[in-house]
Amino acid sequence: MYIQWFPGHMTKAIRMMEENLRLVDAVVYVLDARAVGSCINPLFQKLIAGKPALFVFNKCDLVEARDLGAWERAFAAEGRVTARSVGISGDCSEVVAGVKAVAAAKLDRFREKGATVNVRTMVVGVPNSGKSTIINAVCGRAKTVTGDRPGVTRGKQWVSVDGIDLLDTPGTLWGKFEDQKVAHHLAYIGSIREEVLDVAELACDFAAELKEKYPEALLSRYFLSELAETPAEILEQVAQARGCKARGGAPDYDRAARLLLDDFRKGRLGKLMLEKPESGVLKFKNRQ
């Protein structure tokens, strides 16, 4: 399946972000920990070129800490500052500390003059990566609207909390996914609107990837003793295990597909990381 999703509101959003860039001291770049490499947007290259940037691995509750460590080392090797966060836990202390660290030069400059100023940041990332949730966690209050689908934030919104101003931005992708693996990973993590996808086909591709990388996750979640040969047959196994039947008793592939993807998105298949730095960080280098 060929995946593409770059609606007009994203072009507008990128323009808005570029216009507001001169107002900010740093960029907070939110990445989904399950697909770090795919969350790197080539259109953000310009945004972070001349600004200090903090790379935030969000949804850390959905991956193994040791896998994340490998990403942290890979980013550090390229001189990038990172922070871990679990936006939904409400604790984003690493993000606050990270923002202050990357903007330290500005803070010091003003401190020398006896003044205290807020660090102004722009929070960017692909749709559904948790930007608004992190902002709410930093503020300790639900100041921005969040939701478990892509494209929730549409306009810009400034939020202030002690010492930091945060600009929430709409999740953005880019015009053409050269690498359809990237597009698929973004779809699995819920960054691409379901209306533009064939969910059954997507779930088949996902099942094929899981069979290769995390077969035990499928076996244990759906109480299977072994995995079927083809992705469609695996989806059928999921349908059978979860009682997804269409009229006449045939497997309901669509329902099984949604269930499988939802199980992954909610972490019910276990802590699965789709991309490891071996492949991903190279992509990061090439695309920056």
Strand partners, 30: 56, 125
Q: What's the distance, Cα to Cα, between the start and end of the chain in Å?
A: 27
User: Per CB under 6 A, does 130 bind ligand GTP?
Assistant: yes
- Per CB under 5 A, which region of 85-93, 100-108, 151-159, 250-258 contacts Mg ion? 151-159
With CB under 6 A as the contact rule, the residue among 37, 98, 127, 231 that binds ligand GTP is 127
Nearer to ligand GTP, 253 or 264 (CB): 264
37 binds, among ligand GTP, Mg ion, none (CB under 5 to 8 A by kind): none
Nearer to ligand GTP, 168 or 275 (CB): 168
Q: Is 121 in the site for ligand GTP (CB under 6 A)?
A: no
Rule CB under 6 A: choose which of 7, 147, 155, 175 binds ligand GTP: 147
* Phi, psi (rounded to 5 degrees) for 112: -60, -30
Residue 150 is a binding residue for ligand GTP (CB under 6 A): yes
Instruction: Report what 231 binds from ligand GTP, Mg ion, none; CB cut-off 5-8 Å by kind.
Output: none
Among residue numbers 46 through 65, which ones bind ligand GTP (CB under 6 A)? Answer: 58-59, 61-62
Report the alpha-carbon distance of residue 217 to residue 6 in Å, rounded.
32
- Spatial distance between the Cα atoms of 212 and 118, rounded to a whole number of angstroms: 48
In the stretch 165-194, what mask flags binding to ligand GTP with x, by CB under 6 A? Answer: -----xx-----------------------
Q: Which residue has the tokens 């080539």?
A: 42
Interaction partner, residue 121 (Mg ion, ligand GTP, none; CB < 5-8 Å by kind): none
Nearer to ligand GTP, 151 or 231 (CB): 151
Decide whether 166 or 227 has the Cβ nearer to Mg ion: 166
- How would DSSP label each residue in the chain? -------HHHHHHHHHHHHHGGG-SEEEEEEEGGGTGGG--GGGHHHHHTS-EEEEEE-GGGS-HHHHHHHHHHHHHTT-EEEE-BGGGTB-HHHHHHHHHHTHHHHHHHHHTT---PEEEEEEESTTSSHHHHHHHHHTS--S---SSS----S-EEEEETTEEEEE------S--SSHHHHHHHHHTT-S-GGGS-HHHHHHHHHHHHHHH-HHHHHHHTT-SS--SSHHHHHHHHHHHTT-B-GGG-B-HHHHHHHHHHHHHTTTT-S--S--HHHHHHHHHHH-
| Residue span binding Mg ion (CB under 5 A) among the ranges 22-30, 80-88, 152-160, 275-283 | 152-160
Which residue's CB atom is positioned nearest to ligand GTP? 171
- Return the number of the residue (152 or 228) whose C-beta is nearest Mg ion: 152
Applying CB under 5 A, the site for Mg ion has a residue count of 4
CB of 281 to ligand GTP, least distance (A): 22
Positions in the binding site for ligand GTP (CB under 6 A): 58-59, 61-62, 86-88, 125, 127-133, 146-148, 150-153, 170-171, 267
Positions in the binding site for Mg ion (CB under 5 A): 131-132, 152-153
